[in-house]
Structure 1
Amino acid sequence: MKNLKQLKFWNFGGMYYFYFMIWALIFAFLPFWLNKTANLDTSVSGLVFSAMAITALVLEPLYGVVQDKLGLRKWLFGFVVLCLLFIGPFVQFAFIPLLEINAIFGAVVGGAYLSLCLNGGVGVVEAYIERSSRASNYEYGHVRLFGSLAGGTAAFIGGIMFVQNSYSIFWACSISAVVLGILLFVLRVDKDSYGEETPADSDEKEEETPVTKENIMNVFKNRSFWGFCIMMIGIATMFDVFDQQFPNYFASFFNDASQGELVFSRIASVQVFLEAGFMIATPFIINKIGAKNGLIIAGAVLFIRVLGSALFTEIWMLAIWRLLAAIEMPLMLVSIMKYITGVFDVRLSATVYMLGFNFAKQVGITIFSYVMGVLYSAIGFQSGYIVMAFIILAFVIAGGLIMRSEKYYTKNSLEQHAA
């Protein structure tokens, strides 16, 4: 039994590893590919990311409800894996021809397809593995660190692959999808154990009760949901928008752009391995300070990182700002999951995750990817980053004021049980 439990842990870890191998390869090198291979300017590149976000806006509400209805069944995850399998052929044989027909049309179609796998699909992957690992009594942060390890591996090998052949990273994604599909197929989760980690008997019974329309509507009546959405736009949205064009910004400080791309891949590799190390300790930290405080600290780190990238532009300083993401990302990811399961009905964890995190994030990306792309063209990266930093600060402050801490809900729940 112990060996089976350990094997299941590695199965969860492997699923995170190969999914986020794909994620890291694409998001680290897609900006380079759009600029160098597809020859798109920043505004059209921004449109690709906006299309990814818009598609996710359509998918997330549907994905969330469907996944909560499916519970521990794998069908929706399997659909995402199927889309991932065809990334290599799509980019190699379809994306460039579509862009040649019409740049805007190609950007929209390409972004929409990638969103099935990434911006939209990630919610399915995260929600399913979090729920399954929680059912198996694993700490989410400890399983999720495999995603960070994948990011480090992708950044290290991706730089070499991209310089040799810019299409190779997308074929590597298809190969990773094959392994991910095998791991998903062999995974077995004991449905009878689902909810055992919930300490209160009433919560265990609640976990087994079917989800109703009233349960879902209660989420929207909770002020903390809306504060959480605002916080996610300030942190998760702007994290991704900042990273969309930062590789090109970093490479611009080198005389040889290819050298800049290679150096950036090395820095990104170090960052994500540091992130994996910090991920081990993050669950303990968040349990001590609370998930809401963890999100606020993550937002503060992002503010410093973006503003620093605008004001202190020596290459070694830019590297430091990038490495700060190793602190920010674990704080954000672990805090999000602990806040959702600590504040909202656990049966609706996928719905809240996909609406409160992914949907809100994609709303922000839809708007800010294009806006920042235009700003970069109009006033340059440095001035654009200063504007972005203060947008982050405004959203984090507003979200923090509206959200209640999970301790507030724990106290109310205990008072209700006592009564």
Structure 2
Amino acid sequence: MMQNSAEAPKKQESKHFWGFPFTHFTYFFMWQIIFGYLTLWMEQVGHMNGAEAGIVFSAMSGLSLLFQPAFGVWSDKLVFKKNLLFMISIAAMLIGPYFQWVFLPLMHINSLLVALITGVFLCFIFNGGVSVIEQYVQRASLANRFEYGHSRMGGSLAGMVASFLGGQLFIWQPNAIFWACSISATILTGLLLFSDKIDMDNAAAAGDTSNKLDMKQIGKIFKIKNFWYLSIFYIGASAIYDVFDQQFIIFFKTFFNTAAQGTQAYSYMTTAQIGLEFLLMIPMPWIINKIGSRNGLIAYGCILAIRIIGSALSPSLIWVIVLRLLAGFEMPLVLVSIMKYIAGAFDIRVYATVYALASNFAKQISVFVFSALAGNMYDSIGFQHTYLILGAIVAVVTVFAAFTLKKEDPVQAGEVDKQGETKA
């Protein structure tokens, strides 16, 4: 009887697993295209300066302060219903038409207006939408009994493909990158309709809070010290990661004679970086189970600080490329660690809310503040000095987290079994 019950989950996992890596792929293909090439497009095609481009990202981050808490609670209420997911995927289908036919006419009217409208539009799809996608797949992994990190490999593979293809498309026709997003969003909508299936017999394993979550419970989260420590870590580390990457392609291009050479080299380099990320996602769940998710978060902060400060001090292009490849280690560390850490350090019943508030909402507060500020700093004091400041912030916050973040429960986090053995 024990053998038969052990085999049942394997059959369910095989049946209900494969749609989710493809969901991750289609969504994060669009993510990588937008966050990898939007700044370059706004500079070369949209004719925005660093400060104006910074306003776009600040608007995205600022509005996510409204979207993410609402999306977190809404996701807890919907659980496995796909209403919000469909709204996001359908909005993403309009990315191509917006940048082809709406952005430039608005730019001729008022650059601040177009920056704000673009921020609202992209925030709904990405800054707000990412937590919806991630929470849904995380719940599915609990119900369908698969490792979230293995589904997230689809997102890493998407980043690799998008980085390479995006560079080629941009050189061929800049607006083509946005139409590629529309195509990917159409496929995502189809996957949500026909592919992603949930083992509803095991749905309770996902921590169904649809009948229990209320504002009183949400209020209690803000009284937990560890929630604030985790939020501070994300404000000063993961948010700086995004700010650092927003205009990195402009810094990278300064090492080349022509913009086309820089764009093509950037696409190759980012493809290699995300290829490394993809490969490391395979063993990363086991590595985090071995070292602990709290230590995984600290390791992520250390590598990020080294990469940012090192980029500021790099004497040559080779060093910039080597340091950029370190991002291939960062993302698997933080993606797997944060999922396991929240599960092991907080009440599983409020998992989605803590994830939305601590790792997304708090992060976007920092991105909102730093995006416009960093954009102005790039224009006034240059990339190197700005990177030194950003890197120092990450280093200080990582040291703070090392002394304040509480140790997770390894059994509750899924790092070890009840006998204390590390999970494979």
Normalization by structure 1: what TM-score?
0.93
- Greater helix proportion: 1
Deviation at 1:410, TM superposition (A): 6.3
Q: Per-residue deviation at 1:100?
A: 1.8
Aligned equivalents of 1:208, 1:365: Cα separation in 2: 30
Cα shift readout 1:172-219 (whole Å, capped 9, x = no counterpart): 00000111111111222122302448xxxxxx7x86862233332222
Partner of 1:251: 253
Indicate the residue corresponding to 1:171 in structure 2. 179
What are the equivalent positions in structure 2 for 1:125-140 lying under 5 Å apart?
A: 125-140=133-148
Tell me which amino acid in the other structure corresponds to 1:66.
Answer: W
1:190 matched to 2:199: yes
**How far does residue 401 in structure 1 lie from its aligned partner after superposition?**
2.8
Tell me, yes or no, if structure 1 residue 228 matches structure 2 residue 237. Answer: no
Q: Which amino acid aligns with 2:200?
A: K
8 A Cα contact 2:292 2:410, kept in partner: no
Q: Contact between 2:25 and 2:158, CA under 8 Å: does it hold in 1? A: yes
Deviations 1:85-138 (A, max 9, x none): 111111111112222211111111111101111111111111111111221111
String of CA shifts for 1:380-418, please: whole Å, max 9, x gaps. 00011011110111222223333212139969xxxxxxx
Moved more, 229-238 or 159-168: 229-238
Q: Which runs of 5+ in 2 are unaligned?
A: 1-7, 414-424
The amino acid across from 1:385 in the alignment is Y
User: The residue matched to 2:81 in structure 1 has which SS?
Assistant: coil
Q: Which amino acid aligns with 2:140?
A: S
SS at the partner of 1:194?
helix
TM value normalised by structure 2: 0.92
| Higher mean displacement: 361-370 or 282-291 | 282-291
Aligned to 1:42, which of 47, 50, 72?
50
What is residue 363 of structure 1 aligned with on the other side?
365
C-alpha deviation, 1:234, in angstroms: 2.0
- Provide the C-alpha distance between the structure 2 equivalents of 1:208 and 1:121, rounded to a whole number of angstroms: 19
Query: Which residue identity is paired with 1:100?
Result: H
* Equivalent in the alignment of 1:322: 324
Show the 5 A alignment for 1:207-222: 210-222=212-224
Report matched runs for 1:55-134 at 5 Å.
Answer: 55-134=63-142
For structure 1, which segment, 5-14 or 42-51, has the greater mean C-alpha deviation from structure 2 after superposition?
5-14
Aligned-residue RMSD, C-alpha = 1.8
Cα distance change on mapping 1:207 and 1:354 into 2, 3 Å:
closer
Aligned residue number for residue 201 of structure 1 = none
Indicate whether 1:10 and 2:24 are aligned: no
Q: Percent identity?
A: 41
C-alpha contact (below 8 Å) 2:33/2:181 kept by paired residues: yes
Alignment deviations for residues 288-331 of structure 1 (CA, whole Å, 9 cap, x no partner): 11111111110100000001111014111111111000000110
Q: Secondary structure at the match of 1:72?
A: coil
Deviations 1:6-26 (A, max 9, x none): 242110100000000000111
Are the structure 2 counterparts of residues 176 and 23 from structure 1 closer, same or farther at C-alpha, using a change threshold of 3 Å? Answer: same
Runs of 4+ in 1 over 4 A off after TM superposition: 1-4, 206-209, 408-411
Native 8 Å contact 1:226 1:402 kept in 2: no
Q: Is the 8 A contact 1:227 1:401 kept in 2?
A: no
**Structure 1, unpaired ranges of 5+:** 198-203, 412-419
**Is 2:390 aligned against 1:379?**
no
Q: Given the alignment, which residue of 349, 369, 373 partners 2:351?
A: 349
The amino acid of 1:338's aligned partner reads K
Q: 1:135 and 1:324 mapped to 2: Cα distance? A: 33
Distance in 1, matches of 2:28 and 2:145, equals: 22
* Counterpart contact for 1:223–1:402, Cα < 8 Å: no
Q: 1:74 to 1:274 in 2, by over 3 A?
A: same
Count of aligned pairs between the two proteins: 404
Contact 1:234–1:299, Cα closer than 8 Å, also in 2: no
